[in-house]
Each structure stands twice: as C-alpha cells, then as structure tokens.
A and B are shown apart, each in its own frame.
Chain A
Amino acid sequence: MTAAGDGHEPSHDRRGGETGPAEMGAASTGAASAGPATEPVETEPDPRFTLANERTFLAWSRTALALVAAGLGIVQLLPPFPGVPFGRHVLGVPLIVLGAVLAVAAYTDMMRNQRALRRSEPLPRSVLPRLLAGTIGAVATVAAVVVLLSATR
C-alpha cells in the first residue's frame, strides 16, 4: 500500500465498533477464517482508500439516480413524437432500467475493490464505464432515429 506509509496512522488504530468498513469485502483475518495456505492475507487498508471507494460508490449511485430521473422526465415531460407510437417509452424505459442495473453493479464493484484493497491486490477492472457509455450511446442512436422518423411523417 503506497499511501499507508506516508506518516499517517494505520486504519485499524482509528476504527472502532463493529459496523466499520472492516466488514467490507471477504472474510476477516481472524483465526476462524484461517483456511488453506493459499488464502490471501487480508489487512485493513488505509482509511483514505476506503473513504475514496465509498465516495466512488456514492457518485455511481447518484449517476444511477440521474438516469432514472432522465428516463422519467423523457416519458412524462416530453411531448409525444408524432407518428412514432411509444417513442418516449423506447427512450425512457432503458434509461430507468440502466439506473437500477448501475446501482447494483456499483455496489458489487465497490465490494470487489474493497476486497482487493484488503488483500493488497491490483484493483479489478470495472465494467461500469463501458456499461454506461454503451447504453447512453445506444439510447442516443435510438433517439436520433425516433426524431428523424417523427420528422419525416
């Protein structure tokens, strides 16, 4: 851990209580979890890493919430596209579904990252940016098609 040795106290000195981030990730390092020798050793990461992980999770959650709001706004606030029945639903529903998927994926991602931090392993690659970019690109393409169809009818 690179930042752990820059003069700040280790995280386990500052943590207390049973609801702290020590619960995140995989099993604890106690004697009860002493398994086979291949099991990676887990230690408490620097608290700044844990808090950064938490903030990233919250940022993804807000993005998911914004997608839900955008989907709802498209269906409820936009006027109907003439000649394209369900045009607003075709655009709005995928955004709402993506919002729900993104929220769950952000939680899974955060847990995987926390486990990697505890094991001093490289952080796993996240699928969230690709998922978000792919879906927004697809919805934008469909939106362009719907607008063009609506204009030609």
Chain B
Amino acid sequence: MSTATVPESQSRPDLRALFLGFSAVGLSGFGGVLPFARRMLVDERKWLTAEEFNTQLGLCQFLPGPNVVNLAVVVGKRNRGLAGAIVAPVGLLAGPLAIVLLLAVLYDRFGSLPLAQDMLRGIAAAGCGLLLAMAWRMGAAIKDKAIFLPFTALTVAAIAIFRWPMPLVMVSGLPLSGAVAWWKLGRR
C-alpha cells in the first residue's frame, strides 16, 4: 500500500479503504488485534499519528466494550462520518466472523469426536496460560501494588469463589478502587 504521495495529515481513506484496512487488521490478529491496528493506522497507512492513536485509544480503553471495535468506530467517524463509523467496525468483524462461524459448523459436526475433544482441551490449556500471563503483565504494570492489588484479590474472591454477578462487583468495587486512586492522585 503506497501512501508516499499523500501528505501525512491529509490522507483521508474513503469507505472502501476503511473497510479493507480494518478487514486486514481483523484477519491478521490472533489473540488481540490491537498491535495490528496500531501498525496499520500509524505506520502503514498513516491515518493517525502516533500521538493521535494514543489519545483516541484512551477513550476506547476507558469505556467498557471491545476496544478495537470502539477504535474502528472512532477512525471511521473521523474520516467519513456516520457511514465510516459503520463501515470500519463491520470491516473489522466481517472476515473473522465468517471464519469463526465456519469453525463453529465444523465443531457442531466433529466436536464430539475424542480427537477434537482432546485438541480443544489442549488449546484451552494454552489459552488459560495466555490469560494468566496477561493477568500477570497487567498486574505488574500497576503502580502502588500494596494499595491496589488487594482490590484484585477481592475481585477474584467475589467472582471466582463466591460467583457474584459482575455488575454488582463492578458497581461496589470501582467506586472504592477509584476513590483510592483519586486520593493517590491528589497526593502526587
């Protein structure tokens, strides 16, 4: 994809480019597509500068929901308004969705075979390991661990042991944890 003739700040993708660009991101990402989104948006097609990417991603990560889908909405809107905000996330999801549904059909047909069961259990074990590693990295990135990691322990107890509904846990936990963060921010 050559963007060399377009000045950096003025490269405005049309709807087709938005769809294809985000399709490529969706199809190339395994286990989280955010790094691929950054490479496409900032490095390859220069639809956003690195700084713009970080700012826009800030809101996408601040709000709940799938971050990359949110990011596609933002980039789509910036360039092509409402139509772009629809086309970009649809492009992101359409290809992977088709693949996943194809796999679902295969699963319905062959999933009960012992071989498939064994394979899926192995993948689940690997996936579990990846989740634990991700939790470890997220935890390691937290500053003031002595203050904040107890909230992690409380969340695990509430969700994994007591099986409380997550809305209840978030509604009671986030104000507490947020209040502590507010207090810490004031002391800096």
Asked if A and B bind, the verdict is no
Q: Give chain B's interface residues, CB within 8 Å of chain A.
A: none
Q: Give chain A's interface residues, CB within 8 Å of chain B.
A: none
